[in-house]
Amino acid sequence: MSGAKFSSSCFTDGSEFASYDLFAINIAAQMLGYVYGHNHTLNVNQDLGVKVAAPIGNLFGQLLFGWLADVLGRKRMCTSQVLI
């Protein structure tokens, strides 16, 4: 991977936790509904907004951390991702 170009490496670095985030968003949406929703549930639009924001944020995070890994080095970025 060290010789890979940005276009192929930006989607690989940072994706090790992607599936966890996407599976956990359903539970997080229920908890947000319990805390902030009317009658302890989010309405359809709020629920959809939370669930759509998760993969969009995942994509931007992969692009950002992939670029930073190219600039700063993969070892440093993988360590910082685990700490975050």
- DSSP string over 61-74: HHHHHHHHHHHH-H
Q: Is the pLDDT at 18 greater than 70, yes or no?
A: no
Its sign, for the CA torsion 71, 76, 79, 83, is negative
User: Which pLDDT score, from 0 to 100, does residue 17 have?
Assistant: 59
User: Which pLDDT score, from 0 to 100, does residue 31 have?
Assistant: 93
Residues composing the chain: 84
6 or 31: which leads in pLDDT: 31
Each domain of the chain, given as residue ranges in start order, spans 7-83
The model's pTM is 0.62
User: Which pLDDT score, from 0 to 100, does residue 16 have?
Assistant: 58
pLDDT tens-digit map of 21-75: 778 888 999 999 999 988 999 999 999 999 999 889 888 988 888 888 889 888 8
Query: Please, what is the Cα angle at 59 between 17 and 67, to 5 degrees?
Result: 90
